[in-house]
């Protein structure tokens, strides 16, 4: 069934077909992502108004929403332009006014005829000692007042769309929902005491009290689960589809890996050995590898990547490693080349800086197979980059690359295996939402010989103390980073802040000892400054967060972060990971501008207490939310209407298990439950899943 079930057609119609929605309203609703009745059905009220029935407004409390029966006494038209129109009314005990701005007199006389009774409901406030209700939400006869809800749901709005219009449109959309088959595992439905989809939907749209708006109510949990489950079915289908796609069996001989491991001054950690075994098994399997390697700062991901690439070379293929920046790509070359030399493996780097004859020579060597391992940046995607036989693509720092780039690099060879590495610890719930189609390996041990960095806090007004400490350390031959404050969304301002700080530090420590790196510099200048720091010629590197990822200078043992209160936990942890790479005791100094807010205080003290990136990422997620954590534009997280993957991590994990199990039992979704799951996928517009079922 690769066509949408007929029962869902009305939910995908033009919203103009709904009561109260004309072309103009439809256009406004589109601004908040509502383009068809189905979207309205899944837009739940975010708050509600208790419409308390009172005999009189006299006793307050003010301001509050009240519903009261009144007699209309008289209409008072405004004397001057811009003044309100008043309607005087009397309840059981007092006289007060209904206030209207920009309203038509004939309309008000029609709905509030003098001498008659009406029930009005709205917010009552006191103005100049007199009670008044401005623009009542409801004006109805006593008979119609029976239909006024005691608790009225309030929907999220966009400018130009009134609450009443929204309520009417939602009511119209809900009337189009037919009885849905059950797509959730019956055992789970029983365990959670969930109602069916239709009943859960009706309950979520008719809250009786404020408590009914909590994401933890049964109805809302059920609807959140539907979204998470549909998303996980899509990922599970993608995973199954990939596993069916013919891969290549890349079996290593150990010929190249043995000499490399023998040359290491240490034994790989248990975690490294475990992950290498998982990758070895994946490469030898007949389907494509698609593995995410998560490892905290300094857990030794680069060695694992090298072993994986050598395995591919042993099997007669080439391997590529793609890094997000040129600095990183060249740094990988420096650390990997001496090891590759032990095995007689040719490793090269290709970046946007390679031009003319040099580039042509590299491309020729790559095409003829003389280069075994190629490192680089996005430049690896360019049309003229041809491998003789690419078997494995390793992508460093995943969240800088989207799924599309992952696929583009994979397309450079026949059935390329993909290994993605990230040093950003991703909380489990987000890893499931974002990388649910991948197998995940975890490096959760640090190699021996690393001394954890000491983390200390200092207020910005102690700058002179910090500088005199730095004086002593630089005299002893140590090196330091100085990271400048994060400026909201502005690389240019960040660069300016860094340049100013660089000038003042250069004046103090001397021209040759201080180098500067920021995102707005030409790549050659950036590389030059980095090279001076790596070689030890420059002792102090002033930088913006461009140095966050992967920079490795073992002699650098001091990290000063200015304006630390503006950084996220994960980012501070990444920056701290630049020191503590040698045997010397390292220090990370967090400078802040007092007074610190509650969240900032909590964040900085958490960082002082733990070195565990995963613990910090979970805490960061709880404090900030997923978009902030990964950067909304790059997060790759699906947008859910009801579910909240951060706070419903348990539901997400259940959804993943259920989705994988359902597809193992019924890969083509042909059983009655399978058909129901297809209905859910259509309902929630999981087009990718529908395409995958169709291609089978």
Structure tokens that stand for 30 in this block: 């589109």
Confidence band, pLDDT 50/70/90 cuts, at residue 256: very high
Residue 429 has pLDDT above 90, yes or no: no
pLDDT of residue 534: 84
Where is pLDDT greater, at 539 or 404? 539
Under CATH, domain 454-610 is a member of which superfamily? P-loop containing nucleotide triphosphate hydrolases (3.40.50.300)
Residue 555 has pLDDT above 90, yes or no: no
Residue 490 has pLDDT above 70, yes or no: no
pLDDT of residue 192: 94
E strands, 269-372, are 290-295, 318-322, 347-350
Q: Which residues sit opposite 349 in a β-bridge?
A: 375
Confidence band, pLDDT 50/70/90 cuts, at residue 225: very high
Residue 494 has pLDDT above 50, yes or no: yes
Q: Per-residue pLDDT averaged across 228-250, rounded?
A: 83
Distance CA 481, CA 576 (A): 10
Residue 141 has pLDDT above 70, yes or no: yes
* CA distances, 243 to each of 71, 248, 320, 661, 687 (Å): 74, 11, 22, 16, 20
Contact 315, 251 (CB under 8 A): yes
Confidence band, pLDDT 50/70/90 cuts, at residue 450: low
pLDDT of residue 644: 82
The pLDDT mean for the chain works out to 85
Residue 437 has pLDDT above 90, yes or no: no
* φ and ψ at residue 95, rounded to 5 degrees: -100, 135
pLDDT of residue 636: 44
Residue 277 has pLDDT above 90, yes or no: yes
What pTM value is reported for the model? 0.64
- The separation between the first and the last C-alpha atoms of the chain, rounded to the nearest angstrom, is 11
pLDDT of residue 222: 97
DSSP element (H, E) containing 417: strand 417-422
Residue 182: partners with Cβ closer than 8 Å, 6 or more residues away: 189, 196, 197, 673, 676
Q: What is the pLDDT of residues 45-70, one digit of tens each?
A: 988 988 888 999 988 889 999 999 99
Q: Which of 111-120, 201-210, 483-492 has the lowest mean pLDDT?
A: 483-492
Confidence band, pLDDT 50/70/90 cuts, at residue 634: very low
Structure tokens that stand for 142 in this block: 């006593």
Residue 629 has pLDDT above 60, yes or no: no
Q: What is the pLDDT of residues 556-581, one digit of tens each?
A: 889 999 988 888 777 788 788 788 77
- Structurally, at CATH architecture level, domain 52-148 sits in Beta Barrel (2.40)
Where is pLDDT greater, at 546 or 57? 57
Where is pLDDT greater, at 301 or 438? 301
Residue 638 has pLDDT above 70, yes or no: no
Q: Which of 59-68, 199-208, 439-448 has the lowest mean pLDDT?
A: 439-448
Find out if CATH 3.40.50.300 is the number for domain 257-443: yes
Residue 627 has pLDDT above 60, yes or no: no
Distance CA 104, CA 95 (A): 23
Q: Per-residue pLDDT averaged across 232-244, rounded?
A: 80
Where is pLDDT greater, at 3 or 419? 419
Q: Per-residue pLDDT averaged across 253-261, rounded?
A: 93
* φ and ψ at residue 66, rounded to 5 degrees: -135, 155
Structure tokens that stand for 73 in this block: 């006494």
Distance CA 555, CA 478 (A): 6
In our burial notation (b when 16+ CB lie closer than 10 A, e otherwise), range 641-666 reads: bbbbbbebbebbebbbebbbebbeee
Q: Which of 422-426, 560-564, 661-665 has the lowest mean pLDDT?
A: 422-426
Distance CA 306, CA 319 (A): 10
Confidence band, pLDDT 50/70/90 cuts, at residue 631: very low
Reference 135, options 88, 100, 109; nearest CA is 100
pLDDT of residue 160: 78
Q: What is the pLDDT of residues 287-329, one digit of tens each?
A: 888 888 888 767 788 899 999 999 999 999 999 999 877 878 8
Answer whether 52-148 and 257-443 agree in fold. Answer: no
The rounded percent of the chain whose pLDDT value lies above 70 is 87
Q: Per-residue pLDDT averaged across 90-116, rounded?
A: 92
pLDDT of residue 348: 95
| Domain range annotation of the chain | 52-148, 257-443, 454-610
Q: Per-residue pLDDT averaged across 352-381, rounded?
A: 91
Q: Which of 120-134, 368-382, 483-497, 515-529 has the lowest mean pLDDT?
A: 483-497
Residue 11 has pLDDT above 80, yes or no: yes
Contact 34, 43 (CB under 8 A): yes
pLDDT of residue 163: 84
Q: Where are the alpha helices (DSSP H) in 483-522?
A: 491-509
Contact 572, 563 (CB under 8 A): no
Q: Per-residue pLDDT averaged across 625-636, rounded?
A: 39
Name residue, tokens 């200390």: 456
Structure tokens that stand for 602 in this block: 């909590």
Distance CA 544, CA 495 (A): 7
Confidence band, pLDDT 50/70/90 cuts, at residue 82: confident
pLDDT of residue 586: 87
Confidence band, pLDDT 50/70/90 cuts, at residue 378: confident
């Amino acid at each position: 069934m690769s066509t949408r079930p007929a029962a869902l057609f009305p939910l995908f119609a033009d919203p103009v077909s709904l009561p109260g929605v004309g072309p103009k309203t439809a256009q406004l609703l589109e601004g908040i992502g509502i383009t068809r009745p189905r979207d309205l059905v899944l837009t739940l009220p975010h708050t509600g108004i208790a419409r308390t029935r009172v005999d009189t407004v006299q006793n307050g409390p003010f301001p509050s929403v009240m519903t009261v029966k009144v007699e209309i006494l008289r209409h008072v038209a405004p004397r001057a332009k811009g003044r309100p129109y008043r309607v005087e009314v009397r309840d059981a005990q007092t006289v007060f006014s209904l206030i209207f701005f920009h309203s038509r007199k004939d309309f008000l006389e029609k709905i509030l005829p003098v001498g008659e009774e009406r029930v009005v409901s709205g917010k009552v406030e006191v103005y100049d000692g007199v009670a008044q209700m401005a623009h009542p939400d409801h004006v109805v006869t006593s008979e119609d007042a029976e239909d006024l809800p005691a608790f009225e749901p309030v929907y999220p709005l966009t400018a130009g769309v009134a609450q009443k219009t929204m309520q009417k449109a939602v009511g119209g959309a809900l009337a189009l929902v037919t009885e849905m088959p059950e797509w959730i595992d019956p055992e789970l439905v029983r365990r959670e005491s969930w109602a069916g989809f239709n009943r859960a939907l009706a309950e979520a749209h008719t809250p009786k009290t404020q408590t009914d708006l909590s994401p933890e109510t049964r109805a809302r949990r059920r609807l959140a689960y539907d979204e998470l489950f549909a998303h996980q079915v899509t990922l599970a289908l993608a995973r199954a589809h990939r596993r069916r796609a013919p891969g290549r069996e890349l079996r290593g001989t150990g010929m190249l890996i043995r000499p490399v491991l023998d040359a290491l001054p240490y034994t790989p950690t248990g975690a490294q050995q475990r992950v290498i075994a998982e990758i070895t098994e994946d490469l030898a399997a007949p389907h494509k590898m698609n593995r995410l390697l998560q490892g905290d700062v300094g857990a030794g991901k680069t060695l694992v990547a090298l072993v994986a690439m050598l395995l591919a070379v042993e099997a007669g293929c080439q391997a590529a490693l793609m890094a997000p920046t040129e600095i990183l790509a060249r740094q990988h070359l420096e650390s990997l080349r001496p090891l590759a030399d032990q095995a007689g493996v040719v490793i090269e780097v290709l970046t946007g800086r390679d031009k003319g004859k040099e580039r042509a020579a590299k491309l020729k060597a790559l095409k003829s197979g003389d280069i075994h391992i190629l490192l680089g940046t996005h430049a690896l995607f360019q049309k003229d980059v041809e491998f003789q036989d690419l078997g494995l693509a390793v992508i460093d720092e995943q969240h800088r690359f989207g799924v599309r780039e992952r696929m583009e690099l994979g397309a450079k060879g026949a059935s390329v295996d993909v290994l993605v590495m990230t040093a950003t610890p991703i909380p489990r719930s987000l890893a499931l939402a974002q990388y649910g189609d991948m197998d995940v390996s975890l490096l959760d041990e640090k190699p021996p010989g690393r001394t954890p960095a000491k983390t200390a806090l200092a207020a910005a007004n102690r700058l002179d103390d910090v500088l005199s400490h730095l004086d002593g350390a630089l005299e002893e031959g140590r090196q330091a980073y100085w990271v400048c404050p994060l400026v909201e969304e502005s690389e240019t301002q960040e660069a300016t802040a860094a340049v100013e700080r660089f000038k003042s530090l250069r004046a103090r420590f001397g021209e040759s000892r201080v180098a500067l790196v920021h995102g707005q510099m030409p790549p050659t200048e950036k590389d030059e400054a980095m090279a001076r720091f790596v070689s030890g010629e420059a002792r102090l590197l002033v930088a913006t967060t461009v140095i966050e990822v992967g920079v490795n200078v073992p002699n650098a043992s001091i990290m000063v972060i200015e304006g630390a209160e503006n950084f996220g936990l994960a980012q501070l942890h990444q920056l701290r990971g630049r020191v503590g790479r040698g045997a010397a005791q390292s220090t990370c100094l967090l400078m802040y501008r007092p007074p610190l807010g509650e969240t900032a205080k909590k964040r900085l003290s958490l960082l002082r207490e733990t070195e565990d990136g995963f613990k910090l990422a979970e805490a960061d997620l709880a404090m900030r939310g997923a978009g902030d954590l990964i950067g909304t534009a790059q997060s790759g997280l699906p947008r859910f209407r009801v579910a909240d993957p951060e706070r419903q991590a348990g539901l997400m994990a259940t959804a993943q298990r259920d989705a994988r199990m359902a597809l193992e039992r019924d890969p083509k979704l042909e059983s009655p439950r399978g058909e129901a799951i297809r209905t859910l996928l259509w309902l929630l517009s999981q087009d990718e899943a529908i395409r995958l079922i169709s291609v089978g």
